Structure 1
Amino acid sequence: MTGENQQFSTRADEHYHPSGAQPTVEDGYYEEYAEKPAAPPRQRFYKKKKYWIICSIITIILIVVIVLLVLFVAFPKIAQSVMNHSGVDVESAQITFTPPHNLRKRDQAPDGNSTFYMDMKSKMTNTGPFSATISFDNPIEVQYNGNTLGYIDLPSTSVAAGSGQLDAFTAFKIKDQAQFASFAREMLAKPTFTWTLKGQAEITAMTRTAKVSLDKDIVLDGK
């Protein structure tokens, strides 16, 4: 190639690719984004330790509030509901006019016309899932067909896992002898009869005590 041709080629290269040309805005735009590293992915909020600490605190507070509501607000209603839905299944009942052997000599012998003794063994059912102690506010009224026959004493008992034993050896104090005599005639003519126990009781569970109303039917064998 001659010198003239080389000079012409050099000028052409400088025309299309000038050596001293400054970078354009477009060149800077691509350079900026080409050199900038990619942003790290943001951590999701539920993966943060602080989030779980706050959730744990809120959960503990809610549990405490619910427990307090159950103990101080809902417990009396729960106790009454348990008493209402529970049952008393009498397994055996025997009546005698002989005072118990532990009656002390200095105690006045009861009148046989107004008092007799009843040995009753029964089972309480549907008492709920919690362990509890039931204390009766004696005496307990005994009704038959809406009429009061007399009064008995029931001992305290414990229930757990939905059931408990209620055994009582108690004096039955007749309120009205004429009314009781009418009942006795009916009792001897029927295979079974129903008494209604009415009174008050206290249920203690989970360190709380609630007073409840007792209105419970029990079925006993007649003749």
Structure 2
Amino acid sequence: MTEGNEPLPAPADDHYHPSRAQRFVEDGYYEEYTEKPAAPPRQRFYKKKKYWIICSIITVILIVVIVLLVLFVAFPKIAQSVMNNAGVNVEAAQITFTPPNNLHASVALLKRDQPADGNSTFYMSMKSKMTNTGPFSADIKFDNPIEVQYKGATLGYINLPGTHVSGGSGTLDAVTQFRIKDQEKFASFAREMLAVPKFTWTLKGQAEISAMTRTAKVDLNKDLVLDGK
């Protein structure tokens, strides 16, 4: 005690005494008990704009590749398949020795045809419908002359005009000379034709089918059923 009975000052403390809250922070307890903010949800990949841009580019490339394959690789096979599966239904046919004039005015003889002589040539007019020609619009051009066979024997040759098909059907109307190859074989056929209600000719040759800016040469091997007697 000093004079006047005043208390002596407390001795200075050289050490720092942090508060309880400060000790929690320093000891790491604050981070443990403090709630952290939730992480934002990740955006799904198919909702990203970049994903759809990449998909669009890939789709365009695939479409271009498929179209090119169809046009340059598959088209000839498709054209041949169309020709093989197409049907030709003869609705009317006539044989004369003078040019027939009962067909549509747009059907005309080819310039190379000469007047029929009645022995080796005659005129044939035919109206027919083509069926099962596929879904595409196409132009068909025949490589004339077309060979006409009966039971495997060649009777002669005819010329067929070009035609157009679309929506699975078309027409094939022709006025042409029939040029007999072998008169004896044709005479034998004529006798059979007069004795049966129907007979079948087979047309053989080649044709060109043009569609979708492409042209393919195809083989023609098509049966025609005509009325006999």
Shorter-normalised TM range: 0.7 to 0.9
Counting only pairs closer than 5 Å after superposition, residues 197-212 of structure 1 correspond to structure 2 as: 197-212=203-218
Unaligned runs of 5+ in 2: 1-16, 102-107
Name the SS for the 1:42 alignment partner.
Answer: coil
Out of 130, 137, 150, the residue aligned to residue 131 of structure 1 is 137
1:192 aligns with 2:192: no
Tell me which residue corresponds to 2:187.
181
Letter in 2 for 1:27: Y
Distance 1:20 1:152 in 2: 116
- Structure 1, unmatched stretches of 5+, are 1-17
Question: What's the counterpart of residue 56 of structure 1?
Answer: 56
| Pairs aligned (count) | 201
Name the SS for the 1:111 alignment partner.
Answer: coil
What is the distance in 2 between the residues matched to 1:73 and 1:109? 44
Does the residue aligned with 1:138 lie in a helix, a strand or coil? coil
- In the alignment, which residue of structure 1 is the partner of 2:30? 28
For 1:89, give the aligned amino acid.
Answer: N
Higher helix fraction (1 or 2) = 1
The residue that corresponds to 1:45 in the other structure is 45
1:153 maps to what in 2?
159
Matches of residues 86-125 of structure 1 in structure 2 within 5 Å? 86-99=86-99, 109-125=115-131
Deviations 1:95-137 (A, max 9, x none): 001146888xxx9643210000001000000000000000000
For 2:161 and 2:78, the matched residues in 1 are separated by: 22
Runs (4 or more) in structure 1 with deviation over 6 Å come to none
Deviation at 1:76, TM superposition (A): 0.2
In 2, distance between residues paired with 1:90 and 1:210? 26
Distance of 1:110 and 1:135 partners within structure 2 = 25
Q: What is the letter of the counterpart of residue 20 of structure 1?
A: S
Q: TM-score, normalised by structure 2?
A: 0.83
Residues 1:213 and 2:219 aligned together: yes
Q: What is the root-mean-square deviation in Å for CA atoms of aligned residues?
A: 1.9
In structure 2, how many angstroms separate the alpha carbons of the residues matched to 1:174 and 1:220? Answer: 18
Identical columns (%): 77
Q: Specify whether residues 171 and 108 from structure 1 end up closer, same or farther in structure 2 by C-alpha distance, changes over 3 A only.
A: closer
Q: Secondary structure at the match of 1:167?
A: strand
Aligned partner of 2:154: which letter? T
Partners of 1:51 and 1:84 in 2: how far apart?
45
Aligned to 2:85: 85
Q: 1:100 to 1:89 in 2, by over 3 A?
A: closer
1:19 to partner: Cα distance: 8.0
